[in-house]
Each structure stands twice: as structure tokens, then as C-alpha cells.
Chain A
Amino acid sequence: MRHLSAAVVLAFLVAACASARGGGGAARAATGSPAPAQTASRGADSSSVDRPQYPSTYQRHPNPPVLIRNATIMTATGQEIANGSILFKDGRIVAVGATVQAPADAVVVDGTGKWVTPGVIDTHSHLGVYAAPQTDAESDGNEATNPVTAEVWAEHSVWPQDPQIPLAIAGGVTTIEVLPGSANLIGGRSAILKLIPARTVQEMKFPGARYGLKMACGENPKRVYRSRGPSTRMGNMAGYRAAFIQAEQYRQRWDKWNKDHQGDAPQRDLRLESLAEVLRGNIFVQNHCYRADEMVQMLDLAHEFGFKIRSFHHAVEAYKIADILAREGTAVSIWADWWGFKEEAMDGIHENAALVQQAGGRPVIHSDDPGGIQRLNQEAAKAMYYGRRAGIQITRDQALRWFTANPAWVLGLDSIVGTLEPGKMADVVVWSGDPLSVYARALQVYNDGWLVYDRNDPAHQPKTDFSIGRQP
């Protein structure tokens, strides 16, 4: 993550990081009960005793049915429907098409001249863990006390009153992955959140979403731990391997006990529990990694221990190994154009996303930034048009998928969110114009059918407690 110093306004300061099967039991089925399902990490083959662990208390906000009509609807499934309509009810998309019948009690929104897309999803956010106003008091993103802290959970740092949250909502964002920072080789578990006003993080936790595990390559860990180690890239690799060797043994102990229940349950170890869940495929690895050669080292690490890396993050050199990434089925969560803030970011190019797409890979435009998260549509547009100008024919639908359907896949939620299809969760954004234009702004944002933001209605412009009485 980079930090913009608000005061040194003539300089953009750069500080830290910039910084399988779909959810087993995960996520409610697309047309099933709205009740939250069990989290993936509590299955019978897990290495923890069966007790609730900070369960999601998310509840869908009651909302009348909504029909948006006469809009251009981009479904992220290959369709761009002119003069189209979309109906959603009870948090579910009911119908999308040229003509849609509305129930009598539906709120009808005139979408003339407007565009409609799925809610924006960010695979890489630090909202709530690096909250505004960005003093040390809100700096809760890096447990930089040990190179391996798989035991920490980002949700235990998330501050729901972060004033950056309403700003991101106003940018059309409906789901985020909050990651620990990149100081550590293994930074801890991510939190997958519905981006809604809430008193507690539990109320935001995406029901049934499986956890991610943040891992980080390269410069950051070796800089942070220079004096105690790791201080080199080979030290980084040795650190991951040592951790997963321990995790393999831990997993075996627990799997055996789960089968035969002989004697006392093994001692719980939160650190190894997270890693064992990675080995079982229940937690997705989300890997901060910039350089092409390092990403391939990490793929070999994953092969050594038999897990998958769901997405590389930042991956400014993904284009150099786009063929390998496509073959491995590993997505890349990248920026449109950030580069140069450190050596491992020197080779960033505008065509990164387009080249990964062209090779058959899965690009995601991510933010890692409280400003960038407010305009992921713009960043995707840049990446699309630069690709096209370089001769790579990226479609509008592909570019839309870079900040909707593809990030949904990275989080294992693609059967639930990320497209506008009947049965999907009603995460819907109404834009003032073409969302791939610099001039478009989100006018309305529906999260699970709930109107969480309306640019033209102060009654639907949530503020956090932080802003009360302080921000005009």
C-alpha cells in the first residue's frame, strides 16, 4: 500500500506495500435461502474444534422490489442491453432483459441515459485496517512482529466506522476483500465483506465466504525483517517452506484425530490452523508478488505443498509470464498503471491486464488504495483502452469483468455475485453514463437489494460516526 501524505501535496509519497471448487458449503446457493451458510473453515475436516468463530451476523436489509428500466445494462456475461430493464426483489436479481414485468409494489427507477452494472468488487483493500484519518491509532494492517503471522485475522482489525467506507460505496463498490498488509511473508487471514454501513464487522462479513491468506514476496518482508531475517529473497522462500512443513504435520495430526477421535484433541495452534486450511483447499492464497520470476517461484512453492495460489496481487510483471499464469489458473489482481515506487515495480506497463487476458488468464483490477477503490471502473477503462491501442481487442464486457466477475472468482463468490443474472445477489450500480468514461459517476448503489447510496438523495448517503460533527 502506498500512503499519500495529505500535506506534502506536491509529492506523492510511497511508504509501504504497494504495501478448485467454489466455497465448500460456502455461500448461499444462487437461488436458495438467504440465510448465511456455514463458513468454509468450519468443516468436519478442519483443525479446530467445532465452535463458532466470529460468525457472520449479516442480514439482508429489507427493501421493496426495484425495477430499473430504459437503461443500458452491462451484465458482465457478454451482454450490453440497450433500453434494458432489471428487476430485483428480496436481494435477488429476478429478471434482466429488454422487457421486464414489474410487480405492483416495485420502486421504478428511470434509467434513461444511465448505465447499470454489477456491484464493483475489490480483491485488495485495506479499508478498516488502515482507516482514515490515517494516524497511528488506525494503523492496524500489519502485525509486523514476526515474518509469519498466519494467526491474525484482518476482521479483528476492521473498524466499521472508517470514513473511507462510504467513499468507496459511492464509487459503486459492494464487496471487498480486506487483507493484512505486506510486511510479513504470511500476513494473516483476509476478511470478505459486504460494503455496507454497519456497527460491527460481523454484520459485514459476507455469509459463507471462505477466508483468504495473505502472503507477500519480495522487497517488503526482507526490508521489514532485515535485522532478524529474512533479509533476502532466498530467506523469504525458506520462511514460507518452514511454515508449510509445520503446517503439513499439524494437518496430519488433526486429520487423524478427526477420523478416530483417539485421545485428546491436538493442541490448537492458530498460526498452523490457517496454513493447514490452505493445504486442505479451504482458504485461498492471495499473494502479493511483483516480479515474474518470483511469481514462478511461488507457483513452485504451491506445487511443493499441494495448494493453489488463487491470485497474485500487484503482479506488475504478470505480462511476462501470462502464458504460465493462464496454465496454472492463477488470477492476477493488478493496477492499471502504478509503477516505479520501488524496484520490483519498475517494469509496470499499461498493457498488463490486456496481455494477461489475451493469454487466457484472469485479470482483476484491484485498488490497494482508499482513493483507487472509488474508481475501479476508471482504472479498468484505462487498461482496456491501452490494450486496444496496442492492438489487443479487449471487449467492454471483459473490461467490466475485471472489476466484477473476475474478482468474484478470486474470492470464490462467482456463483453469487459479479454478474447481473437471475438468482444472483442484487448488487447493482446505476451510473450516470458509460462506466468506462471518465465522466461517469455512480448514482445509485444497491447492495443485496438495499439502496446503500443515492447521489441525489441525502437520505441515502451514509456517513460514519467519524464524520459526524466534523466533516461539513
Chain B
Amino acid sequence: MIAFLLAQTVAITGGTVYPVSGPKIENATVLIQGGRITAVGANVAVPAGATRIDAAGKWVTPGLIDGGGQMGLTEIGAVPGTNEAFQSTSEVAASFNVAEGINPASALIPVTRIEGVTTALTWPTGQLIAGQGVAIDLDGPTIEAMLVKSPAAVLATLSEQSKDEGGGSRAGAAARLRRVFNDALEYARRRTDYTRAQIQQLAAGAADLEALLPVLRGQVPLVVISNRRSDIETTLRIAKEYKLRLILAGAQEGWQIADQIAAAGVPVLVQPLDNIPTYDGLGVRYENAGLLAKAGVKVVLMETDTHNSRNLRQQAGNAVAYGMTWEQALRAVTLNPAEVFGMADRYGSLEIGKVANVVVWTGDPFEFSTGVEHVFIRGKEIPLRSRQTELFERYKTLPPRY
């Protein structure tokens, strides 16, 4: 059966195709074979026996990728037994990889994917160094089957939220982060001394220091949540000192130093609809995503309310209303996250050889009037069913038939 599904050939024909990697193509075909995209274009021969999806008048895009949230790690916000994202045993939890906390049977997964979000970054929520986030496809019977990239990045915080890990001061948190990095490097140089206990106590346990080595070698990106301009500048400074592959997250006042962020070549994860001022980000505003993109920063959009990850497209639409171009916004929910997290060889655009995560929309994906007609994840058509559609069916006429 699985072999049959993998071998299945699907031709989505006649739609307006937005490959993201290139300009839109009218009346085009996307061909899916063996879970991959095997052809995209206006003149694609459809093999005999292919399942045809008529997309005339429809829009075809890559599946959306949400850069934020805890997909698979949270079921019911207020029920601790269903939340797996926070590991409280260490403030420096670099070795904490969330993957085995993921619940492939989570009700949130169908709710999300039938709205066109097919892939999500899923993050630990933690302290100075929260742990390792991973990328998952929103389909699959097992964790292994869902994983796209693990780790996608290590997540840290330099903001009001991590002051306490610095003894109550932002300066302390920055210093502690440097100590951890220095000790990780020290640990790498003197493993033997470490095992013989011939080394002074280090700023974190061996597993966590070990997990930071790929970050310090630039093999794994470090995502740092910083919002206040000065915190973003501190983060940029530290990233330069240690030659990190930095990704900023939040960056509420990032628009104020957009040129500096662009010059550093640092991508930014932004939630466009953030604009409520706090002392951690008094300058927060809707225009952040647009101003960053305009300055040349690679922007990835997020919907951090995991239960409504499906509102990523509303976030994107609002990013457009407040200054992004439509093309920038589409890229910021498809190819940009794929590039930023090192999976653009397989994800983020409709190109030959890429994993067939494809959505057929009735129109502009960012508009409320638009619905989802078809969702493919790894070439498999996803039934447009979720716990919520089933509740609707049960109660659409009253009284319900129990």
C-alpha cells in the first residue's frame, strides 16, 4: 500500500502556479511522482494513469511553513500533562531536542494542515538556552516519519525573559552566554581532562556543552529571541565574536536597525501582528516585517499561537497590508524558512526534485475569502478532515444525532 502511494502520480493542471523560486506560471501543471515534484510548467506532458486534479482558476503554491510555535508539543495549553516543550532541569538545555516530545496523533496537526500549513518549526520554550527545535511535516504516523530537520537550530533568549539566568541583569545573561560558549570550546579542547575531572567546573553539563559545538562550528544555526534594540545589538555582537550562524527571532525593534541586521546577513523570524508595547519592546509595530524586508533582511513569518498556526496566512496578509510586497510575504512563509533552516534543497518551492508539499487554493492564500481545495504532503493527498470538521458535521443540524 505504501509503495503504491509513493508511486502514485498526480498532475495538478490548469492552475496559476506560484513556484516561489521563480515567477508565477499561468495555466501550468505541477506533476508529483513518488512524493516528489517531477515537473512544473506550462507545457508538461501528463503521464497516462496519473490522477488529475483540475486546478483551473485556482492558485497553486508550496505548502506553507510556520517558523514559530510548538506544533506536536502542545495539546491543551492549560493542561501540563499535554505540554512537552519546556525542560525545566537546566537553564542551559542545549542538548534538549524536542523531537521525542512530539505527538504525531495531536489534534492540532490535521486542524493546521487542512488550512495549507504543511510544515512547521517546533520549538522548546525555555530559559537562557531552551534547547533544539526541529522541523516537521504535518503528516505521518511516527515522529521519524514527520521529521524534516533535526535539529533545525538551537534556541536561546537574550531579552527581559532571560535576565534571571544572568542573575537579574541583561548584562549578566550576555556574560553567562559567553561563559557557556567559552566552556563549550574548552570542553572540546580538553575532553580527556574533563572525564578525569582535571578541569575546573564548567558552565553547563557535558551533554549541553557537546550540543553547542555544532553551533560554535557554524554547522547548526542559533536562534536568539531578542526584542529591544540594545538586546538585538548585543546578540549581533556575540554572534560576531563566536562566528555563529545567527537567526534573530522576535526582533520587535529590529526595524530600527534594519540596515545593520541586513549587513550582518542575519535572517529574522517575525510575527507581523505583534504591536503591543512592553518594556522589552516599546518600539514594536506592524511595519517591522516590511521594513526589515525592504532593507534586504531575509524575513521568516511566524504564527506563534500553535493552535492557530493556520493563521500564518493572516499574518502574511497583514504583513503585506503593512509594507511587505505580496511576493516577499509568500517567500517569507515558504522558501525563506526552508533556506534559513537549511532545508531548501527539499522544501520551500515548487521545483523539480523537491518534496511534494503542495496546496491548491481557491485564490490568494492570504485572503479570508480563499479556501483550501487540496493539500499534498510528501505527495500524498491529505483528506480535508479534522476534529473540528467532525464537530461541525455532528452539530450542523440540531439536535445532534448521538
Choose among A11, A163, A349 the residue that contacts B70 (Cβ–Cβ < 8 A): A11
Q: Across the interface, do A14 and B227 meet the contact criterion of CB distance under 8 Å?
A: no
Q: Across the interface, do B77 and A7 meet the contact criterion of CB distance under 8 Å?
A: no
Give the A-B pair count, Cβ closer than 8 A.
Answer: 181
Which of these binds chain B: A130-138, A261-269, A412-420? A130-138
Question: In the docked arrangement, what's the CA distance between A342 and B81, Å?
Answer: 12
* Per-residue contact bits, chain A 154-193, to B (CB 8 Å; 1 contact, 0 not): 0000000001100100000000000000000000000000
Q: A347 on the interface (CB 8 Å rule)?
A: yes
* Per-residue contact bits, chain B 53-85, to A (CB 8 Å; 1 contact, 0 not): 000000000000000111000011111000001
Contact A7 to B277, CB < 8 A, known contacts A337-B308, A340-B307, A385-B368: no
Q: A149 on the interface (CB 8 Å rule)?
A: no
Question: In the docked arrangement, what's the CA distance between A350 and B76, Å?
Answer: 18
Q: Across the interface, do A132 and B308 meet the contact criterion of CB distance under 8 Å?
A: no
Further contacts, 15 of them, CB under 8 A, given A6-B280, A8-B225, A340-B307: A7-B162, A10-B125, A11-B85, A135-B278, A338-B307, A340-B76, A340-B77, A343-B78, A349-B391, A370-B276, A375-B273, A437-B369, A438-B318, A441-B321, A471-B277
Question: In the docked arrangement, what's the CA distance between A436 and B280, Å?
Answer: 33
Which A residues are in CB contact (< 8 Å) with B161?
5, 7-8
Contact A472 to B256, CB < 8 A, known contacts A6-B281, A10-B302, A438-B321: yes
Chain A residues close to B by CB (< 8 Å): 4-12, 14, 132-135, 163-164, 167, 219, 319-323, 337-343, 346-351, 355, 359, 370-371, 374-375, 378, 381-382, 384-385, 389-390, 436-441, 466-467, 470-472
Chain B residues with a Cβ closer than 8 Å to the other chain, count: 69
Contact A14 to B78, CB < 8 A, known contacts A9-B304, A385-B371: yes
* Per-residue contact bits, chain B 99-125, to A (CB 8 Å; 1 contact, 0 not): 000000001100000000000000101
Question: In the docked arrangement, what's the CA distance between A389 and B107, Å?
Answer: 21
Chain B residues close to A by CB (< 8 Å): 68-70, 75-79, 85, 107-108, 123, 125, 133, 155, 157, 159-162, 223, 225, 227, 249-250, 252, 256, 269, 271, 273-284, 302, 304-308, 310-311, 314, 317-318, 320-322, 366-369, 371, 388-389, 391-392, 395-396, 398-400
Q: Across the interface, do B249 and A10 meet the contact criterion of CB distance under 8 Å?
A: yes
Question: In the docked arrangement, what's the CA distance between A7 and B159, Å?
Answer: 6
Q: Across the interface, do B306 and A12 meet the contact criterion of CB distance under 8 Å?
A: yes
Q: Across the interface, do B69 and A10 meet the contact criterion of CB distance under 8 Å?
A: yes
Rounded to whole Å, the gap between the CB of A415 and the closest CB of chain B is 31
Which B residues are in CB contact (< 8 Å) with A7?
157, 159-162, 225, 227, 250, 280
Which B residues are in CB contact (< 8 Å) with A348?
388
Question: In the docked arrangement, what's the CA distance between A441 and B273, Å?
Answer: 13
Rounded to whole Å, the gap between the CB of B298 and the closest CB of chain A is 17
Q: Across the interface, do A378 and B368 meet the contact criterion of CB distance under 8 Å?
A: yes
Return the chain B residue nearest A372 by Cβ: B273
Q: Across the interface, do B274 and A12 meet the contact criterion of CB distance under 8 Å?
A: no
Which A residues are in CB contact (< 8 Å) with B281?
6
